[in-house]
Structure 1
Amino acid sequence: MNNFFNRIKNTVLADMNEILDKKENKNPIGLLNQYLRDCEKETEKVKQLVERQLKLKEEFQKELKQAEEIAEKRKQQAVIAEKAGEEELKQFALVEYTHYSNRAERLRESLAITEKQQNELEIKYMEMTHKLKDMHIRRLELMGKENITRAHTRMEKVLDEKKMEEYTKSSFHDIEKFIETIEQNINTSYYKYTMDEKIAELENKMKKEENSLSS
């Protein structure tokens, strides 16, 4: 029985955090799920043992009740046989009474041990069920943290893409402004060039007109 409880202690009631914190573990939820499955199997085994122990206790109680009833019956029969002067029958009844009394005493001791063992099993079973519940809650907590981490990762990715888009838009805007500036410079230069040509033509025309008038 002690070996059994030690096995329970080593397998089911082990420190879960020690397992989850291993450096080689890259998937804590996957590991926790596997650990939960193993613990559920062990818990189910203990549950079956508790049920078997209960049936065993009921069998001891049944046998004890029967032995006590027969012992009391043989005791009364020995009294009746003595009153009737049936010495042989009396002795037989007394032998039977002793036999069933001893059996009842043995059954009482066995029943006491069985009840103690059952209580120990039930306590361990309760500890295991509470541990399982705690681990289920831990799994939910880890799943929540994992979801948040994934959400933040995706949001950061989207935000980075938006930043890149904003940067690209800003770059295009700067390029457009630069092109507009160049275009304006070109237009201004072209306007200046054409104006110079027109002024020169006007000057030449005016000189020709002056020359013709003077002649």
Structure 2
Amino acid sequence: MTTLWKRFKYAFEADLHNVFDKKEQKNPIAMLNQYIREAEKQTEKTGIWIERQSQLKLQLEKEHQEAQEMLVKRTSQMELANQTNEGELIDFAQSEVTAYTNRKEVLQASILRTTEELFGLEQKYEEMKHKVKDMKVRQLQLMGKENVTRAHHQMDRMLQPESSNNGDKRLAAFDEMEQYIDRLGQRIEKEHGVSSMERRLAMLEKNEEPKHEVV
């Protein structure tokens, strides 16, 4: 299992280095996204291996429990066989006790080794999950920086057109826009002034109308 883990580790690192080499000159966000996807796939595969190892451990424990139960049973039967003085029955019972004793010891050793290996795999698996989570945090940080940079760039193009490409054209467009706004504002003010004057004159005429005397 240790050799298998090393092979996976080297393959995992090689895959990631390959991803970085191919995307080194491209968008860092896209590169990191690909990196995270690859890491998630490798982490998922590792989780499957760990689950299989856990199932193997459970199977070994089941076999050990059965061997223990059979050992107790055959030991009791051997004691009864010894009381009968039947040689063949005694030999069979003794061979059974020996077989189950050896199996129990082998299974016990396998369980201990498998438990240690499983613990090591689970530790590394947790490290991998933390690594993926850290990369996702880094992804959010880079996305935030990218958004801020794009926002600043867009605002600078609006607020400081002379610093952007085609600055002369943009300045001319801004000048035309400002002139149009000024003309529009003057027209509105003029129309508002005329309307105000007309209303005042109308009110003056109304107030000066001769009042008819009531006879």
Whether the TM-score (by the shorter chain) exceeds 0.5 is yes
Report the Cα offset of residue 26 of structure 1.
2.9
Q: Distance in 2 between matches of 1:79 and 1:21?
A: 72
Q: Is the 1:46–1:125 Cα contact (8 Å) retained in structure 2?
A: yes
1:1-215 pair list within 5 angstroms: 1-10=1-10, 24-161=24-161, 164=171, 168=175
Aligned-residue Cα RMSD (Å) equals: 3.0
Q: Distance in 2 between matches of 1:134 and 1:8?
A: 21
Q: Distance in 2 between matches of 1:24 and 1:88?
A: 77
Runs of 4+ aligned structure 1 residues displaced above 6 Å come to: 19-23
CA spacing shift, 1:98–1:23, aligned 2, 3 Å: closer
Q: Distance in 1 between matches of 2:21 and 2:139?
A: 14
| % same residue | 44
Count, aligned residues: 170
Q: Distance in 2 between matches of 1:98 and 1:7?
A: 39
Which of the pair has more CA radius of gyration? Answer: 1
Q: Distance in 2 between matches of 1:114 and 1:51?
A: 13
Post-superposition Cα deviations, 1:5-38, rounded to whole Å, max 9, x if no partner, equal 3345446579x89x87999423111001111111
CA spacing shift, 1:89–1:143, aligned 2, 3 Å: same
Q: Distance in 1 between matches of 2:96 and 2:146?
A: 72
Q: Distance in 1 between matches of 2:173 and 2:11?
A: 56
Q: Is the 1:20–1:28 Cα contact (8 Å) retained in structure 2?
A: no
3-state SS of paired residue (2:77): helix
Q: Distance in 1 between matches of 2:145 and 2:22?
A: 18
User: Gaps (5+ residues) in structure 1?
Assistant: 173-215
CA spacing shift, 1:23–1:67, aligned 2, 3 Å: closer
CA spacing shift, 1:93–1:161, aligned 2, 3 Å: same
One-letter amino acid of the structure 2 residue matched with residue 98 of structure 1: T
Q: Distance in 1 between matches of 2:23 and 2:66?
A: 62
Post-superposition Cα deviations, 1:120-153, rounded to whole Å, max 9, x if no partner, equal 1101110000000000100000000000000000
Q: Is the 1:13–1:128 Cα contact (8 Å) retained in structure 2?
A: no
Q: Is the 1:64–1:108 Cα contact (8 Å) retained in structure 2?
A: yes
User: Gaps (5+ residues) in structure 2?
Assistant: 163-169, 180-215
Post-superposition Cα deviations, 1:158-194, rounded to whole Å, max 9, x if no partner, equal 112399369847x98xxxxxxxxxxxxxxxxxxxxxx
